[in-house]
Chains A and B, each alone.
Chain A
Amino acid sequence: MTENEINHIFQTWLKQHKALLFKIVRSYAFNEEDRDDLFQEIAIQVWRSVTSFKQQSAVTTWLYRVALNTAIKWTAKERKHQDRHESIDVSQHIIESHQPPDDRLAWLYEEIAQLNEVDRSLTLLLLDGFSYKEMSKILGISESNVGVKINRIKKHLTTKSEKS
């Protein structure tokens, strides 16, 4: 695959699935600088993953796997960003807020942010309509474990919404 072909696929994925990537970024990074940093990291991993994509799964499933994997690793770095030493122009943000935030959506993001990294990833997959089978494939765990976790998360979120 030539670099031009890779760039073309990458641009198409970015255009068609940016909402998916933004959801993950917003769930794992909580200020503008971190969101930029994480989005940049995800974009690079997505770009690098283009040649490995074998069309055995849907593009959304592939992107979710790459983006969640990157977000979980990014969070685990405990904010030790080696990239701060790179001479990169940070005066211009990569992602810019475009719409006024919806209060209920903001509440949902706040609740998701309080979950641990793994529960957060399951919640995102669940909200985006992935099946237990797909979730187990993306995360590499059994369907039964996914089922138990999902029930707990649903119960937790519903209880929290009743209290608020």
Chain B
Amino acid sequence: MEFKEMKKIWDTQNDEALYVINEDALHRRIKAKKMGTKSRTSFSEVLLIASNLCAGGVVIISHLLKNSGNVAALTMGAMMMFVGVYILFLRWQRIKRDQQTDVSILGDLENAIENINYRIKLSQSMIWFCLIVIALTMFTVLNSDQSVFNIVLISAFFIVGFIMSRWEHKRFNLGKKKQLLDLKEKLINEFEM
């Protein structure tokens, strides 16, 4: 069979619908999926910005109002405010970069890899930042008249949070990056004839 003949056979699908869409079922699934796939990067950024700015603001204001003179707490508050603003700046840069993306499949893939690299960097920086915040918080807590139960509770909260962030980093970010890099390599190899 000549290729022209194959094309004619192929074109018959344009005139007759081989399948029909069950619009109700599609609408229901898209609605369900839309709720579950809100951009993870954007969500993480907004969460980090809001939590850092709010927590930092609360720490600074409460200590200034009490006139406590607690340098460790004030440093931690200022650091949280700074990190919140810095992530806001990174988010603005990422959105700007997303708008300049090449519209090809390979370009889209490269953009996805850039985004996952950005998420990995953000996640790694947050792990270190988290350790500093934990250290400063524990220092403040240990120097205050908190009960042993409260100290254990705060420590447990930080340990769980830290383990969860490491798990998220390994489970989602690194796995996704590997998947995207494999796909890019596959596409490039296909065309290196």
Contact = CB atoms under 8 A, between A and B. Distances in A.
A interacts with B: yes
Interface string A6-42: 0000000010001100110010000000000001100
Interface stretch (B2-10, B58-66, B86-94, B118-126): B2-10
Contact of A119 (B7, B19, B190): B190
B33 A158 contact: no
Given A94-B21, A99-B17, 8 more contacts: A39-B26, A43-B26, A65-B105, A69-B108, A76-B183, A87-B32, A99-B18, A140-B104
Contacts of A76: 179, 182-183, 186
Contacts, number: 142
Most-contacted residue by chain A among B3, B7, B109, B182 (CB, 10 A): B3
B104 A65 contact: yes
6 shortest interchain CB distances as A-B pairs: A140-B104, A140-B106, A161-B1, A118-B190, A127-B10, A92-B25
A98 interface: yes
Interface residues of B, number: 44
Q: From DSSP, what is the main secondary structure of chain B's interface residues?
A: helix
Chain A interface size, as a band, is 35 or more
Contacts of B186: 76, 117-118
Contacts of B107: 140
B19 to A, nearest CB: 5
Nearest to B110: A140
A95 B102 contact: no
Interface of A: 14, 18-19, 22-23, 26, 39-40, 43-44, 47, 56-57, 65, 68-69, 72-73, 76-77, 83, 86-89, 92-99, 101-102, 104-105, 108, 116-119, 121, 127-129, 137-142, 145, 148-149, 154, 157-158, 161-162
B183 A137 contact: no
Nearest to B112: A73
Contacts of B1: 158, 161-162
B5 to A, nearest CB: 8
A128 to B, nearest CB: 7
B19 A157 contact: no
B102 A140 contact: yes
Interface string B72-93: 0000000000000000000000
A139 B17 contact: no
B150 interface: no
Interface string B18-43: 11111011101110111011000000
